Structure formats: structure tokens, C-alpha cells
Amino acid sequence: MDRLQKILAQAGIASRRKSEEYIKEGRVKVNGEVVTEMGFQVSKKDEILVDDKPILKENKVYYMLYKPKKVICTNNDDKGRVTASSLVECEERIFPIGRLDYDTTGLLLLTNDGEFANEMAHPRYHIFKTYQLDLKGILTPEHIRQLEKGIMLDGKKTLPAKIKVTNKDFEKKQTTLEIKIQEGRKHQVKKMFLYFDYKVTRLHRSQFGFLTLGSLTPGQSRRLKPFEVKKLRALANGEVLED
Ligand code: URA
């Protein structure tokens, strides 16, 4: 048995808080009866409708994909481009957690668990994501300092980041580096460097929290192990600290 709002969130209907609003508004029926009681207990056998439509009760699945270039992260594309979800062989209807740009490669999580996706995307405690990149120009120590401390992007200061420069090519005028950020705003990494006029020419996400791609090659995916899902949840809820 589980709380109704939890089941709705897990089915990807909405966040848990929004699901509570649906319940309050009388939009949710259990076995034909409108339920407005918060915390109402339901089991797998109950028929649950939202706005008179049954919710899907699929098995929850969690994958990591090594996203190649030229793959998009939305599930529908009017231009017919390859979607990240289509690269993962599974029966459930999964969707990516957050976005990697069309030309960005690397670690992408996919799931059919809406609540888990919300936890990863809007955590109280922010999970570090690690990116490797090349940019045009030689990154200066002062810019590193400011980027690590936080800069104003779209009216909001970025959270503290960590930068490790791995190569400065003075002939090609190119810097190779690693950056760890705690947020997942749209085009965040590219925008952070563009703030100081550096154009990112290659972007790869090598890590999501403690998760790495391991031996996966571009286009390959694997299911997350139950302990990995559990640890990600604990990280998102600030129950364990990252290394
Ligand atoms: N930041 C970006 O700018 N692009 C990505 O794909 C991911 C993070």
C-alpha cells in the first residue's frame, strides 16, 4: 500500500505536490470514487483515474545511456531526428532526465519514474555533474575564479563550481578542462563560458554524481543497479555526501 499522491507522482502524472493539488481539486478517482483525502492508501490492484483517464502502472526502470552526438533529448521531434529514448532497448516508455544538447555527448539518465526524475532535476541537495570540454581561447585564472564562485546567468547566480584545466594549447589558442556544476540549467556550461566570450567547441558529460560511463561506448546503454538508484536518491535528498 502507498499514499495516493506518491503513486501519482511515480506514474509521472506530476510532482508530488502538484499531485496533491489534483487530489484536493477532486480530479482523482479510486475504484470509481472521487478521493480528496490526503494520504489515502492505495494498492497495485486499485484502479486510479486522473481526469477520468487511467494512470499507467508500469514497472519503474532506470538506465544510463552514452549519448552520441546528433541525438536529441525530447521524445518527439518534428524534424525526425534520432531521440535518446529510441537508443535504449526497453518496453517501458522512458524519457531523459534533464537535457544534453544535440551536439553534446556523454552520460544521460533515462527513466519512466516521474518522481525520481523530479528528484534528480530539482533536488534540495544538488548533485554534481562533471563535464569535459574544449573552448576557444586560453582561460584566465581570474575567469576561473569568477566561474567557480558564481556568475549572474539569466538573472540568477550560478552555484559554486569546480574547474580543473587539463591543457592549454597556445598555438591552437584552445583550453581543455573539466568543470563540475551542481545545476542543470539549459545550455548552462556553454553559457557560463560565453559569459567571458569563450566558445565551447566540444562538450562531454563524463559523470552524474558518482556515476561514470565505465566501459560503455557511444550509443550503448545499461540499466542502473538498484543500489545506484538508491544512492542517487539519497544524494538528491542530502542523506549522503558526495566524494
Ligand atoms: N550545458 C550545456 O551547455 N549543454 C549541455 O548539453 C549540458 C550542459
Are residues 204 and 139 located together in one domain of the fold?
Answer: yes
pLDDT at 12: 77
Q: Do 117 and 217 lie in a common domain?
A: yes
CATH of the domain at 198: 3.30.70.1560
Residue 242 pLDDT > 70, yes or no? no
Do 221 and 158 lie in one domain? The reply is no
* pLDDT-above-90 percentage for the chain: 73
pLDDT score, position 121: 82
User: Is 222 within a domain?
Assistant: yes
One domain, residues 132 and 194: yes
Considering the domain boundaries, does residue 194 fall inside one?
yes
Per-residue confidence band for 134, with pLDDT thresholds at 50, 70 and 90: very high
Q: How confident is the model at residue 243 (pLDDT cuts 50, 70, 90)?
A: low
Ligand 1, atom 3: nearest CA belongs to which residue? Answer: 187
Instruction: Verify whether residue 101 is a known catalytic residue.
Output: yes
pLDDT of residue 240: 67
Per-residue HEC secondary structure of 3-31 comes to: EHHHHHHHCCCCCHHHHHHHHHCCCEEEC
Mutate to test the pocket of ligand 1, among 188, 192, 198 (most ligand atoms within 8 A of CB): 188
Instruction: Tell whether 200 and 132 lie within a shared domain.
Output: yes
Residue 145 to residues 21, 38, 119, 186, 213, Cα–Cα distance (Å): 43, 48, 30, 22, 29
Residue at 109 is within a domain = yes
> Are residues 162 and 49 located together in one domain of the fold?
no
Q: Are residues 115 and 222 in the same domain?
A: yes
Residue 164 resides in a domain: yes
> Residue 141's pLDDT band (boundaries 50, 70, 90)?
very high
For residue 114, give the CATH number of its domain: 3.30.70.580
Is the pLDDT at 136 greater than 60, yes or no? yes
Query: Do residues 193 and 132 both lie within one domain?
Result: yes
Domain residue limits at 43: 2-54
Q: What is the pLDDT of residues 24-43, one digit of tens each?
A: 999 999 999 999 999 899 98
Spacing, Cα 45 to ligand 1 middle (Å): 42
Q: What is the mean pLDDT of the chain?
A: 92
Among residues 101, 103, 154, 169, the one annotated as catalytic is 101
pLDDT at 9: 87
Query: Is 113 in the same domain as 217?
Result: yes
Q: Confirm whether 15 is domain-assigned.
A: yes
pLDDT in tens, 69-97: 999 998 877 888 999 999 999 888 899 99
The per-residue pLDDT for 45 is: 77
Could you report the per-residue pLDDT of 148-206, keeping only the tens digit for each?
A: 999 999 999 999 999 999 999 999 999 999 999 999 899 999 999 999 999 999 999 99
Per the structure, the count of domains in the chain is 3
Nearest 5°: phi and psi at 122?
-125, 60
In eight-state DSSP terms, residue 48 is E
My answer on whether 115 and 216 are in the same domain is yes
Residue ending a domain, among 16, 38, 54, is: 54
pLDDT at residue 58 greater than cutoff 80: no
Residue 172, pLDDT score: 97
Residues 22 and 6 in one domain: yes
- What local confidence, expressed as pLDDT, does residue 147 receive? 98
Helices H, strands E: what count in the chain?
Answer: 6, 17
Task: Report the separation in Å between the CA atom of 26 and the middle of ligand 1, taken as the mean of its atom positions.
Answer: 40
The pTM (predicted TM-score) of the whole model is 0.80
Same domain (yes/no): 95, 157? no
CATH of residue 46: 3.10.290.10
